[in-house]
């Protein structure tokens, strides 16, 4: 929703160049999200035992909020050009991390294979 609002607003002011910028931004964001998912989240999801206290939804959600915020903060410090505009993105990443971990903790019994 934020993407479409900002695209609509900037598209009216800046013209067709903003479309290319947002396609590029979407591609970079997709790579960032996919790499984080494949390198960090899938191994954690598969390797943490189902009886671990980390799967309790409050604990898992807090871990997601913290890790989403930390990952985006580190990314913001690496990309110096965006460092002064990172606060809203850190908050958004924390919310996404919390919701992702909440969903993972509530559905852990449905998607993980039980080990004998």
Would you kindly state where each structural domain of the chain is located, as residue ranges?
1-47, 50-110
Other C-beta atoms closer than 10 Å to the C-beta of 55 total 19
pLDDT for 113: 62
On the CB side of 50, CA atoms within 13 Å amount to: 11
Confidence class for position 1, pLDDT limits 50, 70, 90: very low
On the question of pLDDT at 16 being above 60, the answer is no
pLDDT at 21: 77
Is the pTM higher than 0.75?
Answer: no
Least confident of 35-39, 60-64, 88-92, 96-100: 35-39
């Amino acid at each position: 929703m934020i993407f479409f609002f900002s695209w609509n607003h900037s598209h009216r002011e800046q013209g067709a160049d903003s479309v290319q910028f947002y396609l590029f931004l979407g591609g970079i964001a997709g790579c960032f999200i996919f790499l984080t998912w494949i390198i960090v989240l899938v191994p954690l999801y598969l390797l943490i035992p189902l009886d671990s206290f980390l799967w309790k939804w409050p604990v898992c959600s807090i871990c997601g909020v913290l890790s989403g915020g930390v990952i985006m903060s580190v990314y913001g410090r690496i990309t110096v050009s965006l460092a002064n505009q990172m606060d809203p993105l850190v908050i958004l990443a924390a919310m996404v991390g919390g919701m992702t971990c909440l969903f993972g903790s509530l559905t852990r019994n449905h998607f993980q294979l039980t080990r004998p």
